[in-house]
Amino acid sequence: MTVTSSSPSSAQMSPASPLFLREDEIRRGIEMLYFGYSALTRSIDEGLAAIGLGRAHHRALYFISRQPDLTVKDLLRLLAITKQSLGRVLNDLIERGYIETRPGASDRRQKLLRLSEAGAALEAELFRALREKMAAAYAQAGQGSVTGFWRVLEGLIPDQDRSMVFGLRGG
- Evaluate whether residue 68 is within a structural domain: yes
Helix (H, G, I), strand (E, B) or coil at 102: strand
- CA angle (35 as vertex; 80, 5 as ends), nearest 5: 160
- Among candidates 168, 146, 166, which has minimal Cα distance to 158? 166
Q: What was the pLDDT predicted at 7?
A: 46
- Evaluate whether residue 14 is within a structural domain: no
One-letter amino acid at 39 equals A
Instruction: With beta carbons less than 8 A apart as the criterion, state whether 56 and 85 touch.
Output: yes
Is 135 buried (19+), middle (13-18) or exposed (0-12) by CB count in 10 A? exposed
In the predicted model, is pLDDT for residue 170 greater than 70? no
Report the CATH number that the domain containing residue 33 is assigned in CATH: 1.10.10.10
Count how many domains the chain has.
Answer: 1
- Evaluate whether residue 96 is within a structural domain: yes
Q: What was the pLDDT predicted at 163?
A: 86
**Residue 40 is inside which H or E element, if any?**
helix 23-50
- Evaluate whether residue 57 is within a structural domain: yes
Q: What was the pLDDT predicted at 84?
A: 93
Higher pLDDT pick, 9 / 141: 141
- Evaluate whether residue 32 is within a structural domain: yes
Whole domain around residue 93: which residue ranges? 23-150
- Evaluate whether residue 18 is within a structural domain: no
- Evaluate whether residue 143 is within a structural domain: yes
| pLDDT tens track for 51-90 | 999 999 999 999 999 999 999 999 999 998 899 999 999 9
Instruction: With beta carbons less than 8 A apart as the criterion, state whether 116 and 99 touch.
Output: yes
